[in-house]
Chain A
Amino acid sequence: MAVVPADIPITRAHVSEWIDEYNRKRKKNGTLEEWICHQVEELDLGDTSVTTPSGTIPLTDLIMQDLNSYPNARSEQSS
Protein backbone atom coordinates (compact mmCIF):
# COMPACT_ATOMS: atom_id res chain seq x y z
CA MET A 1 0.00 0.00 0.00
CA ALA A 2 1.39 3.40 -0.99
CA VAL A 3 2.12 5.94 1.72
CA VAL A 4 3.11 9.58 1.61
CA PRO A 5 6.86 10.31 1.84
CA ALA A 6 6.68 11.59 5.40
CA ASP A 7 5.26 8.27 6.61
CA ILE A 8 8.31 6.27 5.61
CA PRO A 9 10.00 5.32 8.91
CA ILE A 10 13.51 5.48 7.41
CA THR A 11 15.46 8.69 7.65
CA ARG A 12 18.41 10.00 5.73
CA ALA A 13 20.44 9.44 8.88
CA HIS A 14 19.70 5.69 8.61
CA VAL A 15 20.80 5.58 5.00
CA SER A 16 23.92 7.56 5.80
CA GLU A 17 24.81 5.02 8.50
CA TRP A 18 24.24 2.16 6.05
CA ILE A 19 26.54 3.81 3.55
CA ASP A 20 29.22 4.25 6.23
CA GLU A 21 28.84 0.62 7.14
CA TYR A 22 29.06 -0.40 3.50
CA ASN A 23 32.17 1.69 3.04
CA ARG A 24 33.80 -0.19 5.89
CA LYS A 25 32.84 -3.65 4.59
CA ARG A 26 32.25 -3.10 0.91
CA LYS A 27 34.32 -5.98 -0.41
CA LYS A 28 31.97 -8.42 1.26
CA ASN A 29 28.66 -6.91 0.31
CA GLY A 30 28.37 -6.46 -3.44
CA THR A 31 27.31 -3.10 -4.77
CA LEU A 32 26.12 -0.22 -2.65
CA GLU A 33 22.68 -0.49 -4.21
CA GLU A 34 22.42 -4.15 -3.26
CA TRP A 35 23.54 -3.31 0.25
CA ILE A 36 20.92 -0.59 0.67
CA CYS A 37 18.17 -2.88 -0.67
CA HIS A 38 19.26 -5.49 1.79
CA GLN A 39 19.09 -3.05 4.67
CA VAL A 40 15.60 -1.92 3.70
CA GLU A 41 14.46 -5.55 3.47
CA GLU A 42 15.87 -6.19 6.94
CA LEU A 43 13.43 -3.63 8.32
CA ASP A 44 10.60 -5.81 7.01
CA LEU A 45 8.40 -2.91 5.96
CA GLY A 46 6.62 -5.07 3.42
CA ASP A 47 5.99 -4.01 -0.15
CA THR A 48 6.35 -0.31 0.57
CA SER A 49 5.72 2.15 -2.18
CA VAL A 50 5.48 5.90 -1.95
CA THR A 51 2.95 8.32 -3.38
CA THR A 52 4.85 11.06 -5.17
CA PRO A 53 3.85 13.76 -7.65
CA SER A 54 5.36 11.48 -10.31
CA GLY A 55 3.19 8.54 -9.32
CA THR A 56 3.60 5.61 -6.96
CA ILE A 57 7.24 4.59 -6.72
CA PRO A 58 8.85 1.74 -4.75
CA LEU A 59 10.71 3.00 -1.72
CA THR A 60 13.98 1.41 -2.74
CA ASP A 61 13.81 3.18 -6.11
CA LEU A 62 13.36 6.51 -4.35
CA ILE A 63 16.35 5.86 -2.13
CA MET A 64 18.48 4.82 -5.10
CA GLN A 65 17.51 7.92 -7.06
CA ASP A 66 18.75 10.06 -4.21
CA LEU A 67 21.90 8.22 -3.26
CA ASN A 68 24.28 10.76 -4.70
CA SER A 69 22.95 13.44 -2.34
CA TYR A 70 24.81 11.64 0.46
CA PRO A 71 28.40 12.87 0.67
CA ASN A 72 29.64 9.48 1.92
CA ALA A 73 27.96 7.75 -1.04
CA ARG A 74 29.45 10.20 -3.51
CA SER A 75 32.95 9.37 -2.33
CA GLU A 76 32.13 5.69 -2.68
CA GLN A 77 30.76 6.07 -6.20
CA SER A 78 33.77 8.00 -7.36
CA SER A 79 36.23 5.45 -5.99
Chain B
Amino acid sequence: MPAANRVANVQVRTQGFADGLNLQYAPDQLAPTEVRRAENGFLDERGGFTKRLGCTNVAAIGAAGDRIISVYTFNRGTLAPQLLIHTSAGRVYYTSDPTATPVVFTEIGSGGWSTTQPMSWETFNGKVYFCEGTHTMASWDSATYNANVTGAPMGKYLRLWKDTMWVAGVANQPDRVYSSAAGDAETWPVANWVDIRHGDGDRILALATDGLYLIVGKRNTGSIITDPALLDNHTFDYEKGISSHWSVVQYESTIYYMTRRGIAEWQGDSPAHLMSYKIDPLFDPRVLNFDRLEFVWAYTYQNRISWCVAEAGSLVPTLQINYSPRLAMLTALGIRGLGPWSTDRVPVACAVMWRYQAVQRLYGGATGANAFWWVFADNVGADDGNAFTAILETGSYDFGAPLLTKYIRRLRVLGRGIFNLQVRRNFEGGIIYTSTVDLSIARDQWSLADTWNAPGEHWGIEGDVQEATVNPDLYARYVQLIFRDINPNPGSMQLPVGQKDVVLPTGQWSVLACIVDGCALGIRENH
Protein backbone atom coordinates (compact mmCIF):
# COMPACT_ATOMS: atom_id res chain seq x y z
CA MET B 1 0.00 0.00 0.00
CA PRO B 2 1.54 3.36 -0.96
CA ALA B 3 2.39 5.72 1.92
CA ALA B 4 3.68 9.28 2.03
CA ASN B 5 6.81 9.98 4.05
CA ARG B 6 6.28 12.47 6.84
CA VAL B 7 8.13 15.72 6.44
CA ALA B 8 10.10 17.11 9.36
CA ASN B 9 9.22 20.54 10.63
CA VAL B 10 12.20 22.89 10.91
CA GLN B 11 12.52 26.20 12.65
CA VAL B 12 15.30 28.67 13.08
CA ARG B 13 15.20 31.81 15.16
CA THR B 14 17.70 34.59 14.75
CA GLN B 15 19.83 34.95 17.85
CA GLY B 16 20.15 38.69 17.71
CA PHE B 17 22.67 40.69 15.74
CA ALA B 18 24.92 41.67 18.62
CA ASP B 19 28.14 40.61 16.92
CA GLY B 20 27.55 42.97 14.04
CA LEU B 21 29.24 43.07 10.70
CA ASN B 22 31.57 40.33 9.53
CA LEU B 23 33.14 40.82 6.12
CA GLN B 24 36.14 38.67 6.83
CA TYR B 25 34.43 35.29 6.86
CA ALA B 26 33.04 33.44 3.88
CA PRO B 27 29.29 33.97 3.45
CA ASP B 28 28.46 30.52 4.81
CA GLN B 29 30.76 30.82 7.83
CA LEU B 30 29.13 33.63 9.75
CA ALA B 31 28.12 33.05 13.33
CA PRO B 32 24.35 33.21 13.90
CA THR B 33 24.78 36.59 15.59
CA GLU B 34 26.82 38.16 12.78
CA VAL B 35 25.55 39.91 9.68
CA ARG B 36 26.77 40.65 6.17
CA ARG B 37 25.41 44.16 6.08
CA ALA B 38 24.44 46.54 8.88
CA GLU B 39 24.16 50.05 7.57
CA ASN B 40 22.48 53.24 8.75
CA GLY B 41 21.38 51.67 11.98
CA PHE B 42 22.37 51.45 15.61
CA LEU B 43 23.16 48.25 17.41
CA ASP B 44 21.52 50.03 20.30
CA GLU B 45 19.87 47.26 22.29
CA ARG B 46 22.09 44.20 22.50
CA GLY B 47 20.92 41.93 19.72
CA GLY B 48 18.67 44.51 18.09
CA PHE B 49 19.19 46.81 15.14
CA THR B 50 17.43 50.18 14.84
CA LYS B 51 17.48 52.53 11.90
CA ARG B 52 19.42 55.69 12.73
CA LEU B 53 17.92 59.15 12.93
CA GLY B 54 18.48 61.68 10.16
CA CYS B 55 20.06 65.12 10.09
CA THR B 56 18.64 68.64 10.16
CA ASN B 57 20.25 71.57 8.42
CA VAL B 58 20.47 74.32 11.01
CA ALA B 59 22.61 76.89 9.15
CA ALA B 60 24.01 77.70 5.75
CA ILE B 61 27.68 78.64 5.86
CA GLY B 62 29.37 81.00 3.40
CA ALA B 63 28.86 80.55 -0.33
CA ALA B 64 27.15 77.62 -2.02
CA GLY B 65 30.41 75.87 -2.84
CA ASP B 66 31.86 76.12 0.67
CA ARG B 67 32.14 72.97 2.78
CA ILE B 68 32.85 72.59 6.48
CA ILE B 69 36.13 70.68 6.83
CA SER B 70 36.75 70.96 10.56
CA VAL B 71 34.62 71.61 13.62
CA TYR B 72 35.43 72.11 17.29
CA THR B 73 33.68 72.71 20.59
CA PHE B 74 35.32 75.49 22.58
CA ASN B 75 34.27 74.86 26.17
CA ARG B 76 34.12 77.97 28.35
CA GLY B 77 33.37 76.88 31.89
CA THR B 78 29.85 77.86 32.88
CA LEU B 79 29.26 79.83 29.67
CA ALA B 80 27.73 78.15 26.66
CA PRO B 81 30.42 76.40 24.64
CA GLN B 82 31.15 77.96 21.29
CA LEU B 83 31.17 75.88 18.13
CA LEU B 84 33.98 76.78 15.76
CA ILE B 85 34.07 75.69 12.14
CA HIS B 86 36.65 75.88 9.38
CA THR B 87 35.43 75.89 5.79
CA SER B 88 36.91 75.08 2.41
CA ALA B 89 36.78 78.82 1.67
CA GLY B 90 39.62 79.22 4.17
CA ARG B 91 37.37 80.88 6.73
CA VAL B 92 36.71 80.27 10.43
CA TYR B 93 33.37 80.99 12.10
CA TYR B 94 31.89 80.62 15.55
CA THR B 95 28.51 80.48 17.17
CA SER B 96 27.63 80.51 20.84
CA ASP B 97 24.24 78.92 20.34
CA PRO B 98 23.84 76.15 17.78
CA THR B 99 20.34 75.50 19.13
CA ALA B 100 19.03 78.91 18.04
CA THR B 101 16.72 79.29 15.07
CA PRO B 102 18.36 80.31 12.87
CA VAL B 103 21.90 79.63 14.06
CA VAL B 104 24.05 82.73 13.62
CA PHE B 105 27.69 82.20 12.70
CA THR B 106 30.16 85.06 12.92
CA GLU B 107 33.50 84.99 11.17
CA ILE B 108 36.68 85.06 13.21
CA GLY B 109 39.30 87.11 11.39
CA SER B 110 39.05 87.54 7.65
CA GLY B 111 39.98 84.24 6.07
CA GLY B 112 43.30 83.24 4.58
CA TRP B 113 43.24 79.77 6.05
CA SER B 114 43.87 76.58 4.10
CA THR B 115 41.07 75.51 1.79
CA THR B 116 41.98 71.82 2.01
CA GLN B 117 43.86 71.06 5.23
CA PRO B 118 41.44 70.74 8.17
CA MET B 119 42.09 72.86 11.21
CA SER B 120 43.59 71.39 14.36
CA TRP B 121 42.35 72.89 17.64
CA GLU B 122 43.28 72.88 21.33
CA THR B 123 41.98 74.82 24.32
CA PHE B 124 44.53 76.09 26.82
CA ASN B 125 44.60 78.98 29.31
CA GLY B 126 41.07 80.00 28.38
CA LYS B 127 41.81 80.30 24.67
CA VAL B 128 41.38 78.04 21.72
CA TYR B 129 44.55 77.78 19.63
CA PHE B 130 44.29 76.62 16.05
CA CYS B 131 46.50 75.98 13.06
CA GLU B 132 46.60 74.05 9.78
CA GLY B 133 50.17 74.42 8.52
CA THR B 134 49.80 77.29 6.05
CA HIS B 135 48.84 80.18 8.32
CA THR B 136 50.42 81.40 11.52
CA MET B 137 48.95 79.80 14.62
CA ALA B 138 46.00 81.81 15.91
CA SER B 139 44.09 82.09 19.15
CA TRP B 140 40.57 83.06 20.13
CA ASP B 141 39.32 83.72 23.64
CA SER B 142 35.65 83.96 22.61
CA ALA B 143 35.93 87.71 22.04
CA THR B 144 39.46 88.57 20.88
CA TYR B 145 41.20 87.10 17.87
CA ASN B 146 44.98 86.91 17.66
CA ALA B 147 45.94 85.96 14.11
CA ASN B 148 49.58 85.37 14.97
CA VAL B 149 50.81 83.62 18.07
CA THR B 150 54.28 85.07 17.75
CA GLY B 151 57.00 82.56 17.12
CA ALA B 152 54.73 79.50 17.15
CA PRO B 153 55.69 76.95 14.50
CA MET B 154 53.34 76.81 11.54
CA GLY B 155 52.25 73.22 11.96
CA LYS B 156 49.22 71.15 11.00
CA TYR B 157 48.67 69.32 14.26
CA LEU B 158 48.22 70.58 17.81
CA ARG B 159 48.09 68.64 21.05
CA LEU B 160 48.13 69.68 24.67
CA TRP B 161 50.23 67.42 26.86
CA LYS B 162 51.76 67.95 30.30
CA ASP B 163 50.67 71.58 30.52
CA THR B 164 52.46 72.31 27.25
CA MET B 165 51.32 72.87 23.68
CA TRP B 166 52.87 70.58 21.07
CA VAL B 167 52.98 71.12 17.31
CA ALA B 168 53.94 68.91 14.37
CA GLY B 169 53.41 68.96 10.64
CA VAL B 170 55.61 71.97 9.87
CA ALA B 171 56.57 72.29 6.21
CA ASN B 172 60.01 70.83 5.44
CA GLN B 173 60.15 69.25 8.90
CA PRO B 174 58.26 65.99 8.52
CA ASP B 175 59.81 64.37 11.62
CA ARG B 176 59.84 67.32 13.97
CA VAL B 177 57.74 67.93 17.06
CA TYR B 178 57.87 71.32 18.78
CA SER B 179 56.78 72.25 22.27
CA SER B 180 55.91 75.55 23.87
CA ALA B 181 57.15 76.72 27.24
CA ALA B 182 55.44 74.92 30.09
CA GLY B 183 52.11 76.50 30.86
CA ASP B 184 52.37 79.01 28.02
CA ALA B 185 51.35 78.30 24.43
CA GLU B 186 52.58 81.73 23.34
CA THR B 187 56.25 81.24 24.19
CA TRP B 188 58.26 78.82 22.10
CA PRO B 189 61.85 78.22 23.30
CA VAL B 190 64.12 77.98 20.31
CA ALA B 191 65.56 74.56 21.14
CA ASN B 192 62.29 72.91 22.17
CA TRP B 193 62.05 70.48 19.31
CA VAL B 194 62.91 66.91 18.60
CA ASP B 195 62.99 64.76 15.50
CA ILE B 196 61.11 61.48 15.72
CA ARG B 197 62.78 58.72 13.68
CA HIS B 198 64.81 61.35 11.89
CA GLY B 199 64.96 61.00 8.13
CA ASP B 200 63.01 57.73 7.91
CA GLY B 201 61.19 58.95 4.81
CA ASP B 202 57.90 59.08 6.65
CA ARG B 203 56.08 62.07 8.07
CA ILE B 204 54.10 62.85 11.18
CA LEU B 205 50.34 62.68 10.65
CA ALA B 206 49.02 62.86 14.18
CA LEU B 207 49.68 63.91 17.74
CA ALA B 208 47.71 62.34 20.57
CA THR B 209 48.06 61.68 24.24
CA ASP B 210 46.92 59.28 26.90
CA GLY B 211 48.04 61.72 29.57
CA LEU B 212 51.21 59.83 30.31
CA TYR B 213 52.86 60.06 26.90
CA LEU B 214 52.70 62.24 23.82
CA ILE B 215 51.84 59.82 21.02
CA VAL B 216 53.41 60.75 17.68
CA GLY B 217 51.89 58.95 14.74
CA LYS B 218 53.64 58.68 11.42
CA ARG B 219 52.05 56.86 8.54
CA ASN B 220 53.95 53.63 9.20
CA THR B 221 55.15 53.82 12.78
CA GLY B 222 54.11 55.07 16.18
CA SER B 223 56.42 56.69 18.72
CA ILE B 224 56.01 58.30 22.11
CA ILE B 225 57.70 61.21 23.79
CA THR B 226 58.09 60.27 27.40
CA ASP B 227 59.66 63.37 28.92
CA PRO B 228 58.40 66.86 28.11
CA ALA B 229 61.64 68.54 29.22
CA LEU B 230 64.31 66.23 27.83
CA LEU B 231 62.14 65.16 24.87
CA ASP B 232 63.15 61.53 25.32
CA ASN B 233 61.30 59.33 22.87
CA HIS B 234 61.13 55.88 21.40
CA THR B 235 59.10 53.86 18.94
CA PHE B 236 56.32 51.66 20.30
CA ASP B 237 54.94 50.32 17.04
CA TYR B 238 57.09 49.47 14.03
CA GLU B 239 54.23 48.02 12.04
CA LYS B 240 51.55 50.66 11.88
CA GLY B 241 51.21 54.34 12.58
CA ILE B 242 48.31 56.76 12.80
CA SER B 243 46.79 57.75 9.50
CA SER B 244 44.90 60.82 10.65
CA HIS B 245 45.19 63.30 13.51
CA TRP B 246 41.38 63.57 13.69
CA SER B 247 40.91 59.81 13.76
CA VAL B 248 42.24 59.63 17.31
CA VAL B 249 39.41 59.31 19.75
CA GLN B 250 39.15 58.43 23.40
CA TYR B 251 36.19 56.33 24.49
CA GLU B 252 35.90 55.33 28.10
CA SER B 253 39.36 54.09 29.07
CA THR B 254 40.73 53.46 25.62
CA ILE B 255 42.19 55.39 22.70
CA TYR B 256 41.34 54.28 19.19
CA TYR B 257 42.71 55.51 15.86
CA MET B 258 42.84 54.80 12.17
CA THR B 259 45.82 53.05 10.64
CA ARG B 260 46.30 51.92 7.07
CA ARG B 261 45.57 48.39 8.29
CA GLY B 262 42.37 49.21 10.14
CA ILE B 263 41.23 50.62 13.45
CA ALA B 264 43.76 50.22 16.23
CA GLU B 265 43.42 50.27 20.00
CA TRP B 266 46.19 51.97 21.93
CA GLN B 267 47.96 49.58 24.31
CA GLY B 268 50.26 51.98 26.09
CA ASP B 269 53.94 51.63 25.38
CA SER B 270 53.56 48.56 23.16
CA PRO B 271 52.25 47.88 19.64
CA ALA B 272 48.61 48.82 19.18
CA HIS B 273 46.05 46.07 18.67
CA LEU B 274 44.06 46.01 15.46
CA MET B 275 40.40 45.79 16.42
CA SER B 276 38.83 45.65 12.99
CA TYR B 277 39.78 42.25 11.68
CA LYS B 278 36.13 41.39 11.04
CA ILE B 279 35.98 44.21 8.53
CA ASP B 280 39.52 43.80 7.21
CA PRO B 281 38.45 43.71 3.54
CA LEU B 282 37.36 47.35 3.82
CA PHE B 283 40.95 48.48 4.32
CA ASP B 284 41.90 48.03 0.72
CA PRO B 285 42.73 50.86 -1.71
CA ARG B 286 40.06 49.52 -4.04
CA VAL B 287 37.48 50.09 -1.33
CA LEU B 288 38.68 53.15 0.57
CA ASN B 289 40.47 56.15 -0.86
CA PHE B 290 43.83 55.69 0.86
CA ASP B 291 44.90 59.13 -0.29
CA ARG B 292 42.22 60.57 2.01
CA LEU B 293 43.01 58.47 5.08
CA GLU B 294 44.96 61.51 6.23
CA PHE B 295 41.68 63.33 6.84
CA VAL B 296 39.61 60.59 8.48
CA TRP B 297 37.48 62.14 11.22
CA ALA B 298 36.22 60.37 14.34
CA TYR B 299 33.29 61.22 16.56
CA THR B 300 31.52 59.43 19.36
CA TYR B 301 27.77 59.18 19.73
CA GLN B 302 25.88 57.17 22.35
CA ASN B 303 27.42 53.70 22.54
CA ARG B 304 29.69 53.90 19.56
CA ILE B 305 32.59 55.51 17.77
CA SER B 306 32.34 56.46 14.11
CA TRP B 307 35.10 57.19 11.64
CA CYS B 308 34.16 59.20 8.53
CA VAL B 309 36.07 57.74 5.58
CA ALA B 310 36.13 58.41 1.85
CA GLU B 311 35.53 55.43 -0.38
CA ALA B 312 37.58 54.84 -3.51
CA GLY B 313 36.67 57.40 -6.12
CA SER B 314 35.52 60.00 -3.62
CA LEU B 315 37.46 62.90 -2.18
CA VAL B 316 35.03 63.43 0.69
CA PRO B 317 33.78 61.01 3.33
CA THR B 318 31.01 58.75 2.07
CA LEU B 319 30.98 56.12 4.77
CA GLN B 320 31.16 55.88 8.54
CA ILE B 321 32.79 52.86 10.10
CA ASN B 322 31.13 52.31 13.48
CA TYR B 323 32.46 50.46 16.47
CA SER B 324 30.44 49.77 19.62
CA PRO B 325 32.87 49.02 22.47
CA ARG B 326 30.16 48.67 25.11
CA LEU B 327 28.56 45.77 23.27
CA ALA B 328 31.74 43.75 23.61
CA MET B 329 31.46 40.82 25.99
CA LEU B 330 33.47 40.75 29.17
CA THR B 331 35.65 37.72 29.69
CA ALA B 332 35.82 35.82 32.96
CA LEU B 333 38.86 37.92 33.79
CA GLY B 334 36.92 41.13 33.28
CA ILE B 335 38.72 41.95 30.04
CA ARG B 336 36.52 43.43 27.37
CA GLY B 337 36.50 41.55 24.08
CA LEU B 338 35.84 42.87 20.61
CA GLY B 339 32.67 44.84 20.05
CA PRO B 340 30.54 44.79 16.90
CA TRP B 341 31.05 46.84 13.75
CA SER B 342 28.54 48.46 11.46
CA THR B 343 28.49 51.21 8.85
CA ASP B 344 26.58 54.41 8.20
CA ARG B 345 26.22 56.72 5.26
CA VAL B 346 25.72 60.02 7.00
CA PRO B 347 26.92 62.65 4.51
CA VAL B 348 29.10 64.56 6.96
CA ALA B 349 32.85 65.10 6.82
CA CYS B 350 33.34 66.02 10.47
CA ALA B 351 31.25 66.19 13.59
CA VAL B 352 31.58 67.06 17.25
CA MET B 353 29.47 66.86 20.38
CA TRP B 354 28.13 70.08 21.89
CA ARG B 355 26.76 70.02 25.40
CA TYR B 356 25.31 72.87 27.43
CA GLN B 357 22.85 72.74 30.28
CA ALA B 358 20.24 70.10 29.37
CA VAL B 359 21.15 69.92 25.69
CA GLN B 360 23.61 67.50 24.17
CA ARG B 361 23.79 67.20 20.40
CA LEU B 362 26.13 66.09 17.67
CA TYR B 363 26.83 68.75 15.05
CA GLY B 364 28.69 68.33 11.80
CA GLY B 365 29.47 69.66 8.35
CA ALA B 366 27.62 68.28 5.34
CA THR B 367 29.68 66.94 2.46
CA GLY B 368 27.19 67.91 -0.24
CA ALA B 369 26.27 71.47 0.71
CA ASN B 370 27.49 74.52 2.61
CA ALA B 371 25.42 73.28 5.52
CA PHE B 372 25.86 72.89 9.25
CA TRP B 373 23.83 69.93 10.51
CA TRP B 374 22.40 68.64 13.71
CA VAL B 375 23.38 65.01 13.21
CA PHE B 376 20.93 62.37 14.47
CA ALA B 377 18.33 65.03 15.14
CA ASP B 378 15.30 64.15 17.23
CA ASN B 379 12.24 63.08 15.22
CA VAL B 380 14.01 63.46 11.88
CA GLY B 381 14.00 60.50 9.51
CA ALA B 382 15.91 61.88 6.53
CA ASP B 383 19.23 63.66 5.95
CA ASP B 384 18.19 67.25 5.30
CA GLY B 385 15.16 66.02 3.37
CA ASN B 386 16.96 63.24 1.54
CA ALA B 387 15.70 59.78 2.39
CA PHE B 388 18.26 57.13 3.14
CA THR B 389 18.03 53.37 3.45
CA ALA B 390 18.93 51.27 6.44
CA ILE B 391 19.74 47.65 5.77
CA LEU B 392 20.45 44.59 7.86
CA GLU B 393 21.38 41.39 6.06
CA THR B 394 21.92 38.21 8.01
CA GLY B 395 24.14 35.26 7.23
CA SER B 396 22.67 32.19 5.57
CA TYR B 397 20.62 29.77 7.66
CA ASP B 398 20.62 26.09 6.65
CA PHE B 399 18.50 24.73 9.55
CA GLY B 400 21.24 22.20 10.28
CA ALA B 401 20.54 20.33 7.05
CA PRO B 402 22.38 22.12 4.26
CA LEU B 403 21.73 19.43 1.66
CA LEU B 404 17.99 19.29 2.06
CA THR B 405 15.60 21.61 0.38
CA LYS B 406 13.28 23.31 2.82
CA TYR B 407 9.80 24.62 2.26
CA ILE B 408 9.60 28.00 4.03
CA ARG B 409 6.11 28.34 5.31
CA ARG B 410 6.19 31.51 7.40
CA LEU B 411 8.43 34.20 8.82
CA ARG B 412 7.54 35.75 12.14
CA VAL B 413 9.20 39.06 12.89
CA LEU B 414 9.63 40.92 16.17
CA GLY B 415 10.43 44.62 16.03
CA ARG B 416 9.12 48.14 15.61
CA GLY B 417 8.06 50.34 12.72
CA ILE B 418 7.66 49.64 9.03
CA PHE B 419 10.23 47.96 6.82
CA ASN B 420 10.62 45.45 4.03
CA LEU B 421 11.52 41.88 4.80
CA GLN B 422 13.28 40.17 1.94
CA VAL B 423 14.67 36.71 1.38
CA ARG B 424 17.66 35.61 -0.62
CA ARG B 425 18.28 31.91 -1.07
CA ASN B 426 21.25 29.66 -1.70
CA PHE B 427 23.73 32.55 -2.05
CA GLU B 428 21.97 33.75 -5.20
CA GLY B 429 22.22 37.39 -6.09
CA GLY B 430 18.54 38.12 -6.57
CA ILE B 431 15.84 38.68 -4.00
CA ILE B 432 13.17 35.99 -4.28
CA TYR B 433 10.70 37.35 -1.78
CA THR B 434 9.75 40.80 -0.48
CA SER B 435 7.05 41.73 1.95
CA THR B 436 6.30 44.91 3.84
CA VAL B 437 6.17 44.34 7.55
CA ASP B 438 4.16 46.89 9.49
CA LEU B 439 4.91 46.78 13.20
CA SER B 440 3.91 50.37 13.81
CA ILE B 441 1.56 51.13 16.67
CA ALA B 442 -1.40 53.49 16.89
CA ARG B 443 -1.00 55.29 20.15
CA ASP B 444 -4.25 55.61 22.07
CA GLN B 445 -5.21 59.05 23.18
CA TRP B 446 -7.23 58.23 26.25
CA SER B 447 -5.99 58.66 29.79
CA LEU B 448 -4.43 55.78 31.65
CA ALA B 449 -6.90 56.54 34.43
CA ASP B 450 -9.81 55.69 32.15
CA THR B 451 -10.24 51.95 32.39
CA TRP B 452 -13.69 51.94 30.81
CA ASN B 453 -14.80 49.66 33.62
CA ALA B 454 -12.57 46.94 32.31
CA PRO B 455 -9.98 46.38 35.04
CA GLY B 456 -8.04 43.19 34.73
CA GLU B 457 -8.61 42.97 31.02
CA HIS B 458 -5.89 43.32 28.38
CA TRP B 459 -6.54 46.97 28.07
CA GLY B 460 -3.99 49.69 27.56
CA ILE B 461 -1.54 51.31 25.22
CA GLU B 462 -0.23 49.09 22.47
CA GLY B 463 3.09 47.47 23.17
CA ASP B 464 6.26 49.09 22.00
CA VAL B 465 7.44 45.92 20.30
CA GLN B 466 5.15 44.14 17.88
CA GLU B 467 5.07 40.84 16.05
CA ALA B 468 3.90 40.06 12.55
CA THR B 469 3.85 37.02 10.33
CA VAL B 470 4.35 36.80 6.60
CA ASN B 471 3.98 33.72 4.42
CA PRO B 472 6.69 33.58 1.81
CA ASP B 473 5.78 30.17 0.33
CA LEU B 474 9.20 29.40 -1.11
CA TYR B 475 11.77 26.62 -1.40
CA ALA B 476 15.41 26.97 -0.47
CA ARG B 477 18.35 25.15 1.11
CA TYR B 478 19.93 28.29 2.57
CA VAL B 479 17.87 31.31 3.60
CA GLN B 480 19.28 34.77 4.07
CA LEU B 481 17.08 37.48 5.59
CA ILE B 482 17.27 41.11 4.61
CA PHE B 483 15.56 43.90 6.52
CA ARG B 484 15.44 47.06 4.50
CA ASP B 485 13.88 50.45 4.74
CA ILE B 486 10.85 51.70 2.88
CA ASN B 487 9.84 54.61 5.07
CA PRO B 488 11.62 57.97 5.53
CA ASN B 489 9.69 58.93 8.67
CA PRO B 490 11.23 58.76 12.15
CA GLY B 491 10.13 56.29 14.78
CA SER B 492 10.42 55.85 18.51
CA MET B 493 11.04 53.29 21.20
CA GLN B 494 10.02 53.08 24.83
CA LEU B 495 12.62 52.90 27.55
CA PRO B 496 11.24 51.46 30.76
CA VAL B 497 12.27 53.68 33.66
CA GLY B 498 10.66 52.21 36.73
CA GLN B 499 7.00 53.13 36.65
CA LYS B 500 7.37 55.21 33.52
CA ASP B 501 8.02 54.49 29.88
CA VAL B 502 10.16 57.19 28.34
CA VAL B 503 9.63 57.56 24.60
CA LEU B 504 12.93 58.02 22.79
CA PRO B 505 13.23 59.18 19.18
CA THR B 506 14.74 56.64 16.82
CA GLY B 507 14.80 55.90 13.15
CA GLN B 508 11.71 54.38 11.59
CA TRP B 509 12.19 50.74 12.47
CA SER B 510 13.89 48.16 14.61
CA VAL B 511 14.29 44.46 14.11
CA LEU B 512 14.88 42.29 17.13
CA ALA B 513 14.26 38.76 15.90
CA CYS B 514 12.82 36.67 13.12
CA ILE B 515 11.60 33.09 13.26
CA VAL B 516 11.77 31.08 10.07
CA ASP B 517 9.33 28.18 10.04
CA GLY B 518 9.14 25.47 7.43
CA CYS B 519 9.68 21.81 6.76
CA ALA B 520 12.60 19.83 5.45
CA LEU B 521 12.03 18.01 2.18
CA GLY B 522 14.39 15.79 0.22
CA ILE B 523 17.36 16.48 -1.97
CA ARG B 524 16.32 18.36 -5.04
CA GLU B 525 18.11 19.28 -8.22
CA ASN B 526 17.13 22.91 -7.83
CA HIS B 527 16.84 25.01 -4.69
Contact = CB atoms under 8 A, between A and B. Distances in A.
Interface in A36-76: 50-54, 59, 62-63, 66, 68-69, 71, 74
B189 interface: yes
A63 B172 CA distance: 15
A1 interface: no
Given A12-B151, A69-B170, A62 B190 contact: yes
B187 interface: yes
A66 B170 CA distance: 11
A50 B190 CA distance: 11
A12 B188 contact: yes
A40 B265 CA distance: 46
Interface residues of A, number: 25
Contacts of A10: 189-191
Given A16-B151, A69-B172, A71-B154, A59 B230 contact: no
A30 B300 CA distance: 55
A26 interface: no
A53 B189 contact: no
B151 A69 contact: no
B159 to A, nearest CB: 17
Contacts of B176: 66, 69
Interface residues of B, number: 29
B233 interface: yes
A13 B151 contact: yes
B231 interface: yes
B187 to A, nearest CB: 6
A63 B303 CA distance: 48
A68 B173 contact: yes
Interface of B: 136, 150-154, 170-173, 176, 178-179, 181-182, 187-195, 229-233
Interface of A: 4-8, 10-16, 50-54, 59, 62-63, 66, 68-69, 71, 74
Nearest to B192: A5
A66 B189 contact: no
Contact of B187 (A11, A50, A54, A74): A11
Nearest to A63: B190
Contacts of B190: 8, 10-12, 14-15, 59, 62-63, 66
Contacts of B151: 11-16
Contacts of B170: 69
A68 B172 contact: yes
**Top 10 A-B residue pairs of the complex, sorted by shortest distance between their CB atoms:** A13-B151, A12-B151, A5-B191, A12-B188, A10-B190, A13-B150, A5-B192, A8-B191, A62-B191, A68-B172
Nearest to A8: B191
6 contacts: A4-B230, A6-B229, A11-B188, A51-B230, A66-B173, A69-B171
B173 A4 contact: no
Nearest to B153: A69
Contact of B191 (A16, A63, A68): A63
B233 A53 contact: yes
Given A11-B188, A53-B233, A5 B193 contact: yes
Interface centre among A5, A6, A8, A71 (most CB of B within 10 A): A6
A10 to B, nearest CB: 4
Given A52-B194, A53-B230, A66-B193, A12 B181 contact: no
